[in-house]
Structures are given as structure tokens and as C-alpha cells.
Amino acid sequence: MVMKKVYVGMSGGVDSSLTAALLVEQGYDVTGVYMKNWSKDLPGFPCPWRDDYMDAKRVAVSLGIPFKMYDFEQEYFDRVVQYMIDGFTAGITPNPDIMCNQEIKFKLFYDTARADGADMIATGHYAQTSKGELLQATDANKDQTYFLYRVTSEALENTLFPLGEMTKQEVRAEAKKRGLFTAEKKESMGICFVGKVGIKEFLTTYLTKQGDASKYIKPGYILTDDGVIIGQHEGAIFYTIGQRHGLDIGGGLPYYVTGKNMQKNEVYVTNAIDSKELWSDTLTLGSTHWIKHMPNVGDDVLVRTRHRAPLIAAKIDSIDEGMCKIALSEKIRACTPGQSAVLYANEVCLGGGIIT
């Protein structure tokens, strides 16, 4: 019997390395693919893409599988980076990792691989799939379904997640057992496509390059909810709802960001942790995406408003194409416009939307 041809997205990390190794052992016809999404250096932060590419290639060679690179850099900038910049300049807090999965890994990579002869794709995500549905990973701490909720059912029907039942410790142990070069490699931090660079440095660099720095990166006032000026900031674009650190407001109780006005370049804060501006018992979602079935009004669901946040019981209040309102069983702090709320029915990820 001829086994299916699987193209594995290999990033040069331990997760995708073990994914490829496991599929080879299971008898699949495996090809490793490095997606070149970003290669630009930023001041003081060289992009590690060449090292990651070589690490992935070295693993592929050790496994005896073909290896190639897909250059998605222009599409990545157009579909993910520009989306992120547009979101921040509009005053919301977008999630580029979610958009990367939607537009690049499970659309562009999926379509390119299939056109290149692949029957299926595979990635090192901690998630599970069955019959076109997305299921949570066994390791709740590593579960990545929050970032995958905008993937289509069709793509999931033709995707393998070999790490879905494993813990990170097990992955490293199995990689080490197989002598994989990346077994002890540290996980990358920071923006998904810029490695060690933080969002503030990235936005500053790119807004300066685009000639928009003077519009967004300029001093402004930090005010309390009742209009008292208590400090200054470097640009409202850098602040997000619920933020506590980085405000540089001395003395007394800590302050939390409750809102901002991009036109006035003002940031609003409170030191009342129970402020109604910080807590929500309802959510309105736009740009909704349902993986296989749209839930119905009155359905009981579980909601997650950020990666690794606890699941909160909720009920669907209203729903139609592109919009959903949810009543939460308890109040949630700092529900941030632009971020995603993801809905579950037990272990099944139904989909979700962007918090408005």
C-alpha cells in the first residue's frame, strides 16, 4: 500500500522536527518544508531565519527526507504584517499568530503543498483533529487551538498534528531519544515573525520607515477616568486594555489601562481593580469564523479570551453571519478589542471571533 505524501512545515524547532520524525516512522512519504516568511533584520535584532532554515534542513537530512523552501515573504507582509500594523494604528490589539495560521500555514502553505503533490500537510502544533473538527491537545498548558480557530474544516481534514497527545517534556525526550539536533533548542519568543523583537520596537521601526512615526509615536497624556492628568506616554498605540506595567506612574496603588483615544492620543487608566471599565460579563464578537458548525442561540459554550486563559462557561445570546454576542457566567478582566475569543463545546473548538 502506498502511504500518503505529507509535507511537514519545519521551522527549525523541536516540535516540527519531531513531527517529521514521527511521520517517517509511521510510514508516510514525508517532505520537509521551511516557510520563509520573514528575513529582514531590525536595528540591534538580526533575523534568525538562516539559522532556523539550516536547523530544519539538518534535521531533514538526518531523517533522509526531501527538503525544500517556500518563499512566502511578500504574501506574509501583505496578509499578516500589514494586518497587524493596521490594527495597532486603529487603536486595537491584533493577534498576528492567529492571522498567520489562517492566511499562511493553513491556506497558502496548504494550497501550495497540495498543488505540489502533497496529499496532506502536518505541523508541530499542540492540537488534535478528527473528521474536519479541531480538538484540544492533551496537554492543556501547551494546547494551541486558541491560535488555530480560524482554520477551515477542509484544511483540518487534510492535516496531521502528531504532537496532539504529547506534553512538551515528552516531545523533548522523544527528540533526544532519536538524536534530533533540535532536541534542546529553546523556543522563540517575541513577535511570531521577528524572533526576539518586541512589538514596541517593531512598530517604531516600521512606522518610522513608512513615514508615519510622527503621527503615532508622540507624547500624550495619561488620564484617570474622571479626567485628571497623572502622567505622560510615548504614544497611545503602544498601550492595551488591562495593561499595568510600563505606565511609569509612581506612588500608591498600581494603575491599569481602561481605554485610549487614538485621535487625541490619550490613554485612560484607573487604580480601582474592580472598575467596571476593566471587567465584562458580555462579549460582542465580529469577523466570526466557525470551523464546522455555527452554534445556535441559547447554546452553552466555553470561552477562552487569551492563550492559556481558563475556559469560562457562557451562553450564545445572538448570532448571525459575522457577528456573535455571548453572555458570560462570570466577569472577565481586560477583554481587549482586536484580540480573539474562542468558543468550545467540551474538547471541540467550534471557532470564534474578534472582540469588538
Please, are residues 34 and 56 in contact by the beta-carbon 8 Å criterion? yes
For 124, other C-beta atoms within 10 Å of its C-beta total 22
Distance CA 177, CA 180 (A): 8
- CA-to-CA dists, residue 85 to 78, 281, 291, angstroms: 10, 29, 27
Residues 6+ apart with CB under 8 A from 234: 217, 218, 219
Residue that the C-alpha cell 510510514 belongs to: 27
Name residue 50's amino acid. R
Cα dist from 93 to 72, 125, 132, 264, whole Å? 24, 23, 30, 18
List the catalytic residues.
100, 192
Which residue type, as a one-letter code, is found at position 119? D
Nine-digit cell string for 2: 502506498
- Strand-pairing partners, residue 256, are 270
Q: In angstroms, rounded to a whole number, what is the distance separating the alpha carbons of residues 7 and 119?
A: 8
Between the CA of residue 311 and those of 130, 285, 286, 341, what are the distances in Å?
Answer: 21, 17, 20, 10
Triad 305, 220, 273: Cα angle to 5°: 40
- The counts of H helices and E strands in the chain are 11, 17
Cross-strand pairs, 325:
284, 318
Beta strand 340-345 pairing with 348-355: antiparallel
